[in-house]
Amino acid sequence: MTRTYPGAYIGSDHDLVLATFKLMLNSKRKAKNPRLHFYLKKLKDPNISETFRAQIGGKFAALTLIDNDVDTMANSLKEVLASTAEEVLGRKRRTIQPWVMNEVLDLCDKRGELRKRKFGSNVAMENYQLANKAVRKKMKEAKEKWIDDQCVAIEQDNEDIMQRWSEYCSDLYNYELQPDLSILSATRDQLETDDSPPIQKSEVEAAVKSLKLGKAPGVDNIPSKLLKAGGEEVNNIFTALCQRIWNERKWPTEWTKSLVVPLPKKGNLRLCNNYRTISLINHPSKVMLRVILNRLKPKAEEILAEEQAGFRAGRSTVEQIFNCRILIEKHMQHQRDLFHNFIDFKKALDRVWYDGLWHV
């Protein structure tokens, strides 16, 4: 909109012009590394599931992976699973924006009903226009509220946030411990020479079967459901890969990477210490880890004391609480003192003595 002011003297033969305009500037968007989400529900269809297995088998048959190193085998496994999933299943797309609430959806349903009858009369058209305005207004309010909630940020610059988290995680996982070195000699006397046989296909199949569904994938974007749906061909490739890792004692490079996700706990959320960090590792690496764990369990049961209850099958937390309660009742009955020692280790699972762990 423009307007001239001929009476304004500005020392020129031109008239003063006042203009009102809107300008929309395109901001420079940062490159993103989007997470792939495949439409896994399609695997419930037997025909699609069979097609997925057939294409997996055809692609693996065309590859010669036996003579390759573990990194090449792991990368080929990831690429075949991802490409086949995208071809057969497709990517899952978000259809509802995060700021769309149930109240907005109800208004949209009401507008849809009025839209069917809007050409019936002038009143119907007016009702539809009012409903359309109400939807747009409510949508705008909901979006602004969602943006305001999201804008409560720790810092303005995303690079500063990433740098701070990098420093925090580096200090957390590289924490210098001062353990009792005499433990090494004690465990050395208890351990025997490793005479484990090569990894069997049955072990790999059991490990793949034990993978939980619905868990977030790691940096490779391969969900566990794709590994289970791969069938015999995936199990064969996994067996060869696990045997190569076992013999060469070399872990694939990509399997050493994890996606760290901070979850807020309580207190001041401007401090990284008030977050719980979880690491999302690649699901293919969990297969090898499960095989190793299943081999360690029988030997660990022989060494662990009878009183040890944590992380052991058949010894639940409820059972241990019941044992403590019985002890308290018996000591109160006989009027004797009882001492319970509760220890809360700070960042216990994040500060592991890796030298001692590898020794064991």
State the DSSP string of 18-82: EE-----PPP-PPP--PPP-B-GGGGGSHHHHHHHHHHHHHHHHT---TTS-HHHHHHHHHHHHH
Does residue 224 sit within a domain? no
Does residue 137 sit within a domain? yes
Question: Does 9 score more than 80 pLDDT?
Answer: no
Task: In whole angstroms, give the CA distance from residue 308 to residue 62.
Answer: 50
Task: In whole angstroms, give the CA distance from residue 230 to residue 247.
Answer: 25
Residue ranges making up the domain that contains 132: 102-149
Does residue 110 sit within a domain? yes
Give the Å distances, CA to CA, from 43 to 56, 60, 124, 169, 223. Answer: 14, 20, 45, 38, 13
Could you tell me if 143 and 99 are in contact, meaning their C-beta atoms sit under 8 angstroms apart? yes
Could you tell me if 104 and 83 are in contact, meaning their C-beta atoms sit under 8 angstroms apart? no
Look up residue 311 and give its two tokens: 């992380």
Task: In whole angstroms, give the CA distance from residue 48 to residue 44.
Answer: 8
What is the reported pTM? 0.61
DSSP state of 295: H
Give the Å distances, CA to CA, from 143 to 23, 148, 153, 343. Answer: 21, 9, 17, 46
Does residue 142 sit within a domain? yes
Task: In whole angstroms, give the CA distance from residue 118 to residue 132.
Answer: 11
Closest to 74 in 3D by CA, of 236, 233, 253: 253
Question: Does 44 score more than 50 pLDDT?
Answer: yes
Question: Does 8 score more than 80 pLDDT?
Answer: no
Does residue 210 sit within a domain? no
Going 342 to 348 to 353 to 357, the CA torsion angle's sign is positive
Looking at the DSSP bridge assignments, the partners of residue 258 are: 281
pLDDT at site 291: 93
Task: In whole angstroms, give the CA distance from residue 60 to residue 231.
Answer: 12
Task: In whole angstroms, give the CA distance from residue 331 to residue 133.
Answer: 72
Does residue 195 sit within a domain? no
pLDDT at site 179: 67
Task: In whole angstroms, give the CA distance from residue 208 to residue 235.
Answer: 8
Question: Does 11 score more than 70 pLDDT?
Answer: no
Kindly report, residue by residue over 287-345, the tens digit of the pLDDT. 999 999 999 888 888 888 888 887 788 888 888 899 899 999 999 999 999 998 888 77
| Maximum Cα–Cα distance across the chain | 110
Does residue 265 sit within a domain? no
Does residue 123 sit within a domain? yes
Look up residue 89 and give its two tokens: 């299943």
Residue type present at position 65: L
Contacts of 203 (CB under 8 A, 6+ apart): 242, 291, 294, 295
Give the end-to-end CA distance of the chain in Å, rounded to a whole number: 79
pLDDT at site 154: 44
pLDDT at site 194: 60
Look up residue 303 and give its two tokens: 């060494």
Look up residue 113 and give its two tokens: 């009903």
Could you tell me if 242 and 307 are in contact, meaning their C-beta atoms sit under 8 angstroms apart? no
Place of tokens 């305009």: 21
Q: How many domains does the chain have?
A: 1
